[in-house]
Amino acid sequence: MTRYQNRILLVEPPFYRLYKNNFSHSRYPLSLGYLAGVIKKKTKWEVMTYNPDFIADNEGSSFSYVMGSGFENYINGLKDFSRPVWKEVKSTISAFKPTIVGISAKSQNFISACIIAKFAKEFSKDSLVIVGGPHPSMVGSEVLMSPDIDVCVKGEGENTIVELLEAINSQSSFKDIQGIIYRKNGEIIENPPREFIKDLDSLPFPHESAPEVLKDYDQYPKTAFKHIFSTRGCPYNCFYCGSRKIWSRKVRFRSPENVVREIKGLQNIGLKSVNFEDDTFGVTKQHIKDLCHAIKKDCSGLKWSCEIPVRLVDEDVISTMRRSGCYSIHIGVESGNNEMLKKIRKDITIDEAFSAAKIIKKYGIELNTFFMAGFPEETEETLNDTMKAIEMIKSDQVVYSIFTPYPGTEAFEFCKENGLIDDYYNVSLYNHSSPANCFCMNMDRKRFRVLASQIEKAVVRKNKHNLIRRIFSLNTFWRIQELGIVDSFKTFMNVIKS
């Protein structure tokens, strides 16, 4: 170890700023917030959390730019360490002088995690680099192919990180720490998995430690802290999703009282709205009602948003949500073709999605719909059905993505078995807005790009039209900024111009 003891830097690797330096992910990563909270609560380690993707003077991203020249800029940014974001990462490591660098990585920013690990070792060869998050939880020991990563954390990291820090303090072996894979004397050792945290109410609230631990805390907008979890786990079995391998299909709930205490703390720092980040909000109708009643009773004036499965949408549930302050709902539709919905195990029909949309809009709630193109068994017909559904559905915003088989998922294995992925798959090239994506069995890349671009143009047209309509229906831009529909006037003007 270095002479700088008991100092840990927690980092969410950059992704958006590689497309363009003044793109920004203006939010506090919850993974870092939870980890920092337990470190402060249960250890004597000094901790800093750092989101390199945040920049105070920022602009909203443009879909057409990301799909066009922005992608080339992103690829170049993974090689050009003179970029401002990489200089900032290096200077942050140098200034904080961490003994340990902990990195929370998704598949799309794992290459950035490897770059940060390299910088950490350049600062001090004795630095310990720990990587956790969705990607390591999915692929396990593969992350240790990067020579600069020492420990991989699988699954929930809150208890694991505390045990790791205690072991380092006492110079003990890692052999009894569940949920880790690590390198020792050139050998890779995989310990037994860790049980999930039974009592989610025992976890600290991420926003509470943020003023002390978050780099540049005073430059973040309040809305950066509006995101919360009320559950962990998802009972559904979608073909393309990795959530069940990270959290399992058994859902754990925070108590409504605990959730309300966190919300009241956020209201006390000036927030007027929150967003539930749950993979599937509420899961059961009864839990939704219990949580809504608690919010209505104790969080006066709160506006909130969430994602809810189509199957849970009915008049009773949506009216209850509306009365408790719900102003915006996301639903996952994904495809406009019923056969494709069966193949990806979405467990809905397109008519059921239209019906859910109609109910949500009936109660005056803003509706956002997720659609995805490019599933392995897509045909021209199924893609055309998806475009028609996008044009027909009564939603205020369409959130469009391109199918991406992330390593460790069932979809990834299906694509490998069917020759859509080879042994040279480069995870850094593929994400939900990558023009490099094409994992279709029934059409070549050129034809897929023609059809996908038609869908993308339809999405842009619809969203631009709806945004302008919403602006004028609300009379003032400042009201929609308050609710978090867009985060700055600059973002609004960029959308209008694009």
> How many Å apart are CA 349 and CA 84, to the nearest integer?
47
The verdict on residue 493 lying in a domain is: yes
Q: Cβ neighbours of residue 182 under 8 Å, at least 6 residues apart?
A: 144, 150, 151, 152, 174, 188, 189, 191
d(CA 10, CA 286): 37
Can you give the pLDDT at residue 451? 96
Specify the pLDDT at position 2. 41
Task: For residues 61-85, give the mean pLDDT.
Answer: 89
CA distances from 335 to 138, 280, 344, 354, 401 (A): 25, 18, 9, 12, 11
Residue 286: CATH number of its domain:
3.80.30.20
Q: In angstroms, rounded to a whole number, what is the distance separating the alpha carbons of residues 88 and 52?
A: 8
Asked if the structure places residue 205 within a domain, the reply is no
Query: How many CB atoms lie under 10 A from the CB of residue 222?
Result: 14
pLDDT tens for 319-331 read 999 999 999 999 9
Q: What is the DSSP letter of 205?
A: P
Same domain for 235 and 123: no
Q: What type of residue sits at position 24?
A: S
146 and 14 in a single domain? The answer is yes
Residue 148 belongs to domain with CATH number: 3.40.50.2300
End residue of a domain, out of 170, 190, 210: 190
Backbone angles phi, psi at 197, to 5 degrees: -65, 125
Q: List the single range of 55-59, 60-64, 224-228, 463-467 with lowest mean pLDDT.
A: 60-64
CB–CB of 84/44 below 8 Å? Answer: no
- Per-residue pLDDT of 149-187, as tens digits, reads 999 999 999 999 999 999 999 999 999 999 999 999 889
Q: Are residues 231 and 186 in the same domain?
A: no
Structure tokens, 285: 């109708």
Tell me the pLDDT band of 140, cut-offs 50, 70 and 90: very high
Judge whether 438 lies within some domain.
yes
Work out the angle at residue 171's Cα, subtended by the Cα atoms of residues 170 and 175, and round it to the nearest 5 degrees.
Answer: 105
Residues 403 and 298 occupy one common structural domain = yes
Mean per-residue pLDDT over the chain, rounded: 92
Region 203-228 average pLDDT: 97
* Consecutive H or E run containing 49: strand 46-50
Q: Are residues 278 and 165 in the same domain?
A: no
What is the rounded distance in angstroms from the CA atom of residue 232 to the CA atom of residue 155?
11
What confidence score (pLDDT) does residue 478 get?
A: 46
Q: What pLDDT, on the 0 to 100 scale, is given for residue 480?
A: 52
Return the amino acid letter for 159. Answer: N
- Our CA angle for 438, 442, 443, nearest 5°, is 55
Residue 371 lies in a domain: yes
Regarding whether 424 and 330 lie in a shared domain, the answer is yes
Average pLDDT of the residues in 142-155: 97
As a whole number, mean pLDDT of residues 245-271 equals 94
Which of the four pLDDT bands, split at 50, 70 and 90, describes residue 299?
Answer: very high
Residue (of 333, 341, 414, 418) closest to 382 by Cα position: 341
Q: Sheet containing 46-50: which strands, arranged edge to edge? A: 46-50, 7-11, 100-104, 128-132, 151-153, 180-184, 187-190
Is 128 strand, coil or helix? strand
Q: In this model, does residue 263 exceed pLDDT 80?
A: yes
Q: Are residues 168 and 249 in the same domain?
A: no
Asked whether residue 209 is domain-assigned, the answer is no
Task: Say yes or no: 153 and 287 in one domain.
Answer: no
Segment 118-134 shows an average pLDDT of: 97
CB proximity list for 408: less than 8 A, separation 6 or greater: 135, 137, 138, 139, 242, 245
The reported pLDDT for the residue numbered 186 is 87
Ranking 159-168, 356-365, 489-498 by mean pLDDT, the lowest is: 489-498
**Separation between Cα atoms, residue 7 and residue 100, nearest integer Å:** 7
The number of folded domains in the chain is 2
Mean pLDDT of 275-299: 93
For residue 1, name the pLDDT band (cuts at 50, 70, 90): very low
**Domain-terminating residue out of 169, 190, 211:** 190
Mean pLDDT of 43-64: 89
Task: Please tell me whether residues 180 and 237 are part of one structural domain.
Answer: no
Distance of CA 413 to the CA centre of its chain: 22
From 163, 190, 217, the end of a domain falls on 190
Structure tokens at 293: 């009643």
Range of the structural domain that residue 420 is part of: 227-497
Q: Which residue has the higher pLDDT, 496 or 309?
A: 309
Instruction: Say how far apart CA 397 and CA 60 lie, in whole Å.
Output: 16
Please check whether residue 220 lies inside any domain of the structure.
no
In this structure, the answer to whether residues 458 and 407 fall within a common structural domain is yes
Strand pairing category for 187-190 and 180-184: antiparallel
Kindly state whether residue 326 falls inside one of the protein's structural domains.
yes
Same domain, residue pair 262 and 318: yes
Render pLDDT for 433-479 as a digit per residue (tens, 0 to 9).
899 999 999 999 999 999 999 999 999 999 988 877 776 665 554 45
What are the DSSP calls for 393-419, one per residue?
Answer: S--SEEEEEE----TTSHHHHHHHHTT
- The verdict on 328 and 183 lying in the same domain is no
Please give the residue that has the higher pLDDT: either 482 or 283.
Answer: 283
Q: Is residue 74 part of a domain?
A: yes
Q: How many CA atoms lie less than 13 Å away from 413 in the CB half-sphere?
A: 8
Q: Residue 154 is which amino acid?
A: K
